Amino acid sequence: MLTYFLCLILFCVGLYAIVRKRNIIKIIIGIIICEYAVNLFLALFAYKMNGRSPIYSPRQEIVNMVDPLPQALALTSIVIGLATTALLVGIAIRIYEKYGTFDITKINRLKG
């Protein structure tokens, strides 16, 4: 329970950065932290007490494996996170080239 709650706090830290910060790079960092929290939650949910990795060994029988399904889902999620980050950074650099700043409020002012 405490572990899940710490994971929720990590998500809230990322959400605070997304909502409150004005620098675009800081917002991207907040999105990255949110992705960490979600992947971590999937891996936490799969954990079984005193479990083993879901990989068979040729020498011994392995019982009491952890849940492999959320791990498979988190694996795709991590890779998609990188693709999203690359796209966001590209758009941020474009914005910097056009407006000369990373501040989102100044971008609004220059547009009007």
Partner 1 sequence: MKAKNNSDNKGMSLIVKTVTRIFVGLILLYGIYIVLHGHVSPGGGFAGGFIIALSYILFMLAFGKEEILKRIPERMISILESLGVIMFLVIALLGFSGGYFFYNWLPKGMPFKLLSAGTIPISNVALALLEVSLGLFGIFLVLVLLKFAPKKDLEKDEE
Partner 2 sequence: MLEINFLLIFIILGALVAINVKDLLSAVVAVGASGLGLCITFLMLKAPDLAITQLVVEILCLAILIRATARDDLPFSTSGRWLFNTVATCLFLAVFLYAGYQALKNLPVFGSPVMRVSEFFLNEASQKTHATNLVSAINLNFRAYDTLGEATVLFAAAIGVMSVMRKKARKKLGEKDEG
Residue ranges in 5-34 that form contacts with partner 2 under rule CB under 8 A: 5-17, 19-23, 25-26, 28-30, 32-33
Site residue total, partner 2 (CB under 8 A): 78
Q: Is residue 61 a contact residue for partner 2 (CB under 8 A)?
A: no
Distance (Å, whole) CA 101 – CA 97: 8
What one-letter code names the amino acid at 30?
A: G
Distance (Å, whole) CA 107 – CA 104: 5
Q: From the list 49, 55, 60, 64, which residue makes contact with partner 1 (rule: CB under 8 A)? A: 55
Nearest to 82 by CA among 45, 31, 8: 31
End-to-end CA distance of the chain: 49
Query: Per CB under 8 A, which of residues 65..84 are in contact with partner 2?
Result: 65-69, 71-76, 78-84
Q: Which residues bind partner 1 (CB under 8 A)?
A: 53, 55-56, 58, 75-76, 78-79, 82-83, 86, 89-90, 93-94, 96-97, 100
